[in-house]
Structure 1
Amino acid sequence: MEWLSDPVFWMALMQIIAIDILLGGDNAVVIALACRHLPEEQRRQAIVGGVAGAILLRIALLFFAMQLLALPYLKLVGAALLLWIGIKLLLPEPEEAHEVKAGASFLAAIKTIIVADAVMSLDNVLAVAGAAGGNLFLVSLGVLISIPIIVWGSQLVLKLMDRFPQVVPLGGGLLGWIAGGMAVTDIAVASWVSNDVWSKHLAAACGAALVMGVGLLLRARTSALAN
């Protein structure tokens, strides 16, 4: 129990908690977007199921994060997948979806949460692992602490989206922002992309604009066809 009096341990734990709070917001938005079409009674189940699967994936990623981030084109593929998820989540629920049994949408929401979290978690996991300094106990604490943050955060965002549907495109834009920033940090493009914060912000802004623009366009088109 020497760690109880070790200031280095507590400093690392505070850093991990800060990382979980800052980076957990992205995951909360994905969960809220994926669950917003579900009935109220299924939302909590979908959140728990999605977070459970995402946490298991995050634990697996802890062992391979460094090697995975060194693979060329991985972040580009992840960014493309995240752009697609962002656009898909902005589309309105089709009328016939109400006729499909609830389990189909429920499982689809969990699958979306897990896939999106896996894409976004590479950098998150690496940040937690770096703050923990290789301490497996600290890393485990970081994963455990992230669970209530993501669950409560997603429920808060869901309530916000229910009350103010206008924020839904902003959630999709956030996924596009993450995707754009992720794409330019891939080692395959590092040699011909300027390695400065402005380049990353520009790419992130383009990703956000792409998701919001295409998502809203397809949304308007789908609504027009339905009418």
Structure 2
Amino acid sequence: MEWLSNPEIWISLVTLTILEIVLGIDNIIFISIMASKLPASKQKKARQLGLALAMITRVLLLLSLTWIMTLTSPLFNMGEWMALTDAELLKQFAISGRDLILIIGGLFLIYKSTSEIHDKLEGEEHHTDTKAVVTFSGVIVQILLLDIVFSLDSVITAVGMADHIEVMIAAVIIAVLVMMLSAGGISDFVNKHPTVKMLALSFLLLIGVSLLAEGFDQHIPKGYIYFAMAFSVLVEMLNLKMNKGKKPVHLHNLPEEK
């Protein structure tokens, strides 16, 4: 326990916790949007359970670091199927277990965000009652699947920034507890403002494309992605301030604000 008196450990804990919270924003957005499809009485429970599952998933992955490291080993090479001979090209087309998870997760996120945008803008409002066909367990399963993808990214970041497993686990737990406290406010704000909900869905679409690119070893610096998201949020906040008091546009399958 000597590491508790080491100031470098505490600095890495604070830094990693902040980073985990930032990386968890997309998780909160997805959970909030999925939970909003349930009756109001079950939404808080779905958010809390979803974030609890995210914490458990991340801790279990951290405790399985040896297995995590094996995910970076190539399983097969698509370049060989295309008869490529260039070594660099072959390296780019090598697919590992981590790549497969990111590709599948990215495709799922692109599909989910696109279908949600379509449903809210052009869905059959009077013929399809979304909340009647969406079950609590179905929402939790979808949240769990995306938790695995988001958690993998989070754990790989944690491994690269800290040397002690205790620090990594503590940072993950603290970050998830902070997200649990803020999830309700974020969810209410997103659901109250339809344009913000569309913006949140576009963020998920952007993150899905980023995961897909990452799966094919085309790294997009996260700084660019988060800057684009932050700038979009700033513009939307200005729009909301300018249009304060005006009745927001009504999206399909959402209760109209009185």
**Normalising by structure 2, what TM-score?**
0.66
1:8 is matched with 8
Q: Counterpart amino acid of 2:15?
A: Q
User: Which is helix-richer, 1 or 2?
Assistant: 1
Note the residue ranges of structure 2 that are not aligned, 5 or more in a row: 75-94, 230-250, 254-258
Alpha-carbon separation, structure 2, partners of 1:175 and 1:163 = 18
Alpha-carbon separation, structure 2, partners of 1:139 and 1:122 = 13
Does residue 124 of the first structure (1) align with residue 127 of the second (2)? no
> 1:19: Cα distance to partner?
1.1
Contact 1:161 1:168 in 2 (8 A): yes
Helix, strand or coil at the partner of 1:95 = coil
Structure 1 residues 158, 26: CA separation in 2 closer, same or farther (over 3 Å shift)?
A: same
Q: Counterpart amino acid of 2:182?
A: G
> 1:21: Cα distance to partner?
1.9
Alpha-carbon separation, structure 1, partners of 2:146 and 2:109 = 6
Q: Which has the larger radius of gyration?
A: 2
1:82 is matched with 109
- What root-mean-square deviation, in Å, do the aligned CA atoms of Structure 1 and Structure 2 show? 2.9
Q: Deviations over 1:97-117 (max 9, x none)?
A: 4545xxx52222212211122
Alignment of 1:76-225 (within 5 A): 76-90=103-117, 91-92=119-120, 95-99=128-132, 105-133=135-163, 135-186=164-215, 189-190=216-217, 197=221
> 1:145: Cα distance to partner?
0.9
Alpha-carbon separation, structure 1, partners of 2:68 and 2:203 = 23
Contact 2:35 2:139 in 1 (8 A): yes
Alpha-carbon separation, structure 1, partners of 2:55 and 2:202 = 24
Structure 1 residues 25, 108: CA separation in 2 closer, same or farther (over 3 Å shift)?
A: same
Alpha-carbon separation, structure 2, partners of 1:136 and 1:97 = 43
**Normalising by structure 1, what TM-score?**
0.74
Structure 1 residues 111, 151: CA separation in 2 closer, same or farther (over 3 Å shift)?
A: same
Alpha-carbon separation, structure 2, partners of 1:45 and 1:88 = 24
Structure 1 residues 98, 177: CA separation in 2 closer, same or farther (over 3 Å shift)?
A: closer
> 1:43: Cα distance to partner?
1.4
Q: Where has structure 1 moved over 6 Å in runs of 4 or more?
A: none
Alpha-carbon separation, structure 2, partners of 1:99 and 1:175 = 24
Helix, strand or coil at the partner of 1:38 = coil
> 1:33: Cα distance to partner?
0.5
Does residue 68 of the first structure (1) align with residue 71 of the second (2)? yes
Alpha-carbon separation, structure 1, partners of 2:179 and 2:28 = 5
Q: Counterpart amino acid of 2:147?
A: D
Q: Deviations over 1:30-73 (max 9, x none)?
A: 11101113233211211122122222222233323333244514
Alpha-carbon separation, structure 2, partners of 1:162 and 1:81 = 22
Equivalences, count: 196
Alpha-carbon separation, structure 2, partners of 1:149 and 1:69 = 30
Contact 2:53 2:144 in 1 (8 A): yes
Contact 1:24 1:149 in 2 (8 A): no
Percent identity of paired positions between Structure 1 and Structure 2: 25
Contact 1:76 1:182 in 2 (8 A): yes
Contact 1:69 1:122 in 2 (8 A): no
Helix, strand or coil at the partner of 1:12 = helix
> 1:80: Cα distance to partner?
0.8
> 1:4: Cα distance to partner?
3.2
